[in-house]
Amino acid sequence: MMERRVPPEADQESEAAAHAPDPWIGAPRFPLERLAAFVVVLLTAAGLPPDEARRAANILVTADVRGVDSHGVARLPYFVNRLRRGLIDTAASLRTLRETPATLALDANNGFGLTLAAAAMERCIAKAETAGVCLTTVRHGNHFGMAAYYALMAPRRGLGGLAMTNASPLVTPTFGTRGMLGTNPLAVAVPTGSGDEPPLVLDMATSAVAWGKIEIARRAGEPIPSGWALDEAGQPTTDPWAARWLTPLGGERATGGHKGYGLGVIVDTLCGPLAGAAWSARVSGSRGPDQPAGIGHTFMAWRIDAFRDPEGFFADLRAMLAELRGTPPARGRDATGVLVPGDPEAAAEAANDRLGIPVKQAVLAELRVLAAELGVPFDLDNSTPR
């Protein structure tokens, strides 16, 4: 076998992608308003009050607009399922447990995750506008969708923002054989002060790859690279059908996997024990028993002018981003040139604003079933002009 200078992961992934049927083939595009209106109908039929349904629809569709379709309308079956099983209290609102001028501890009382997370981040931002910074915890929460949505609420008001959540267990600790942590994502968003440069936004799970990459390999009938996943018995596997747990960001210990694991532990410490929420393997999800998720979130917002003149910050930040994008690029069929966090999502947003939001046929099929179950008209048939 020849020595390979390129790690096998990179090659195998692109080979798998090359052989996989493209899930975007035949995906119709919808205007934002039409897609959102359908989501409102679904969520209202599932029991969510109309105001909350509208807000939740906006949050979900924003993920699709940004190309993060894993956290968009494709998640509706999960949300509707939990609503219909009474696992979420649609009448709940935020309760303040503790408050200082710069901190806030909230209880979401097992209310709908998307809307109460947005309400919590709003309160966090409002306090930061007065105090300079605010750190906010939320207990008894539910799945809040795309973390970047909440972080990005801050730059819209000129502040920096951070959003974190824990989640049901899927990621193994370093040298462990069972998933003990959620993908525990963190998102940070910072304003750039320019309409030409969207906010800098990082939104990352603390696992090496998303579960969706396992699903792509399953559909393609291709092996997954060693190091992505473990099987039920906790053994490394390259068989996507045997994959049960994900490895932390960094993969094996030798390539820094203990750092990704450590980040996941810190996210859980803030969202679980500090918030007074469930933690680690105690968080309930779609694979667990019929009980409230017990998820916790942590949010933060900070004023730029608490630290320096915002114009100076914006100029320096934009120069830094330009210099990073100007790094001499690698060549290779996978190379995209050097981007900064948020560039792929901003490009998707620009295209989808113009052309409409694409929805995969597989997702449309699930939404059609969901509409039938809820007894509402399916309003997204494929004959829609793109």
Taking CB under 8 A as the criterion, which residues in 27-86 touch its own copies? none
For its own copies, the closer CB: 10 or 376: 10
Contact region with its own copies (CB under 8 A), list: 32-40, 50-58, 73-81, 223-231: 223-231
For its own copies, the closer CB: 89 or 343: 343
Cβ 20 to its own copies shortest distance, Å: 14
For its own copies, the closer CB: 4 or 354: 4
For its own copies, the closer CB: 36 or 209: 209
The only residue of 37, 102, 220, 374 in contact with its own copies, by rule CB under 8 A: 102
**b/e map of 87-110 (b: 16 or more CB within 10 Å)?**
ebbbebebeeeeeeeebbbbbbbb
Cβ 261 to its own copies shortest distance, Å: 8
- Strand pairing category for 95-100 and 103-107: antiparallel
DSSP 96-121: EEEEETTEEEEE-TT--HHHHHHHHH
The torsion angle over the Cα atoms of residues 231, 236, 238 and 243, rounded to 10 degrees, is 20
Q: Is 18 in the site for its own copies (CB under 8 A)?
A: no
Taking CB under 8 A as the criterion, which residues in 173-192 touch its own copies? 173-178, 180, 188, 190
Q: Which residues contact 41 (CB under 8 A, 6 or more apart)?
A: 376, 377, 379
Q: Is 19 a catalytic residue?
A: no
Residue 138, SS3 per DSSP: strand
Residue 154, SS3 per DSSP: coil
Residue 84, SS3 per DSSP: helix
For its own copies, the closer CB: 58 or 192: 192
Strand partners, 301: 134, 161
Taking CB under 8 A as the criterion, which residues in 243-302 touch its own copies? 249-256, 258-263, 265-266, 268-269, 272-276, 279-281, 302
CB 148 within 8 A of CB 187: yes
Q: Is 348 in the site for its own copies (CB under 8 A)?
A: no
The only residue of 135, 159, 293, 364 in contact with its own copies, by rule CB under 8 A: 135
For its own copies, the closer CB: 202 or 376: 202
Cα dihedral 24, 30, 31, 33 sign: negative
Q: Is 158 in the site for its own copies (CB under 8 A)?
A: no
User: What residue has token string 């490394």?
Assistant: 236
Residues 19, 71, 140, 143: which is the catalytic one?
143
CB 181 within 8 A of CB 164: no
Cβ 302 to its own copies shortest distance, Å: 6
Taking CB under 8 A as the criterion, which residues in 300-329 touch its own copies? 302-308, 312-313, 316-317, 320, 323-324, 327-329
Cβ 295 to its own copies shortest distance, Å: 15
Contact region with its own copies (CB under 8 A), list: 31-39, 330-338, 350-358, 365-373: 330-338
Q: What angle do CA 64, 66, 67 make, to 5 degrees?
A: 65
Contact region with its own copies (CB under 8 A), list: 37-45, 87-95, 97-105, 362-370: 97-105
The residue count for binding its own copies (CB under 8 A) is 102
Cα dihedral 348, 147, 48, 293 sign: positive
Query: Would you name the residues annotated as active-site residues?
Result: 143
